[in-house]
Amino acid sequence: MERVIFNEDHHAFRASAKEYCDRSLVPRMEQFLEEKTIDRAAWLEAGKQGFLGLDVPEEYGGSSVGDYRFNQVFAEEVSKVSAALSSCFGIHYDCAAPYFVDLGTEEQKQRWLPKFCSGEYVAAIGMTEPSGGSDLAALKTTAKKADGGWVLNGSKTFITNGDMADLVIVAARTTPEKGAKGITLFVVEEGMEGFARGRKLDKVGQTESGTSELFFEDLFVADDNVLGELDRGFIHMMERLAQERIGAAVSNIAHATQILDETIEYVKQRKAFGQSVGSFQYNKFLIAELVTKVEVTQAYVDNGVVAHDENRLTAVDAAKTKWWSAHVQNEVLDACVQLHGGYGYMNEYRVARAWRDARVTKIWAGSNEIMKELIGRDLGL
């Protein structure tokens, strides 16, 4: 079914995004996998092409397009290459950017955003803690007031881009007795004394994304690095989760669609019992179901993107797109592995890596169970 939400500008931007992916990402995938990170050259090239500043005003080095569909297009093209690369870039230009743009002071924007847009600075978001998971209100990282700033102590885990981030937005508890209303956001910068990175985490999938633990031990952060209002960090996070979740949905369904397309070509060529695997009735019916489910989900996600672009996307609707797209993505990729037979279980085949990479989408950005809890509460249950 034809997608109707894009215009000629979006199509031209997609062509540029695809060219970047084909030139700067695809030829180096084995390197990224081996090193378990995206090297700085790929970031700098993305910045040079203008992909990292889509939400950033021009005076700070961005393009300020004011149209979330451009974010969507870039995420889709990168997702076709790798779900892991999409998550790394997405955390930077799609998730972190609104924090800096919406909450930053003029001095902070001038200090950080030009290099953020160029790829000289890579950003990460430090919310998840070893004991907390999706429960952002239960943070244990603390920030105590000191002369001219704050002293941070604590740790974060599962931090995408954590291995190389120059700027980390860290949520810490500043007024413990106020619970969720006592959390503040800080920007921790590379080189600060007391800031340390743990090992690159050995994940089941998304090997090429640098995911790390972060540690803060008596880390002094000046008042100039407080992001947003004191004790309103939890609210700041909640206000920006809708974009994170619709962005996750965009990447989920683009990733599934690409691998399904490749699988359809595979079953046309693969022969068994004298005919193509795809021509067997069960497989034919299965693929028909998968294609329909993917297209229905794509239409739903596209509708969510338009709603977000028009400031109509609610937290509950964002939760719906996030959990459903992750569910469909995993269902589709599991079927694609099956359709590849034994080859689908081999790491050298993209379908195997994609299957592994997708599993985490039902966990991160708020687990699917948390998403359903939000939806259920909204229904009065």
Report DSSP state, residue 292: H
* Cβ atoms of residues 37 and 201 within 8 Å: no
Three-state secondary structure call for residue 56: coil
pLDDT bin (cut points 50, 70, 90) of residue 57 is: very high
pTM of structure? 0.96
CB atoms within 10 A of CB 190: 13
pLDDT digits (tens, 9 = 90+) for 251-310: 999 999 999 999 999 999 999 999 999 999 999 999 999 999 999 999 999 999 999 999
Distance from C-alpha of 224 to C-alpha of 217, rounded to nearest angstrom: 19
Identify the pLDDT of residue 133: 64
Beta partners for residue 151, in sequence order: 144, 220
Position with higher pLDDT, 199 vs 319: 319
Single out the residue of 31, 41, 19, 92 nearest to residue 62, CA to CA: 92
- Block residue for tokens 């989900």: 297
Identify the pLDDT of residue 295: 98
Distance from C-alpha of 39 to C-alpha of 370, rounded to nearest angstrom: 34
Does position 134 have pLDDT exceeding 90, yes or no? no
- What mean pLDDT do residues 320-344 have? 98
Does position 67 have pLDDT exceeding 80, yes or no? yes
Distance from C-alpha of 300 to C-alpha of 132, rounded to nearest angstrom: 31
Does position 84 have pLDDT exceeding 70, yes or no? yes
Beta partners for residue 197, in sequence order: 214
pLDDT bin (cut points 50, 70, 90) of residue 332 is: very high
Q: Please give, one letter per residue, the 3-state secondary structure of 126-137.
A: ECCCCCCCCCHH
pLDDT bin (cut points 50, 70, 90) of residue 65 is: confident
| Residues marked as catalytic | 244
Distance from C-alpha of 260 to C-alpha of 270, rounded to nearest angstrom: 15
pLDDT digits (tens, 9 = 90+) for 7-23: 999 999 999 999 999 99
* Cβ atoms of residues 233 and 185 within 8 Å: yes
Identify the pLDDT of residue 137: 73
Single out the residue of 112, 110, 153 nearest to residue 129, CA to CA: 153
* Cβ atoms of residues 366 and 134 within 8 Å: yes
- What mean pLDDT do residues 218-229 have? 98
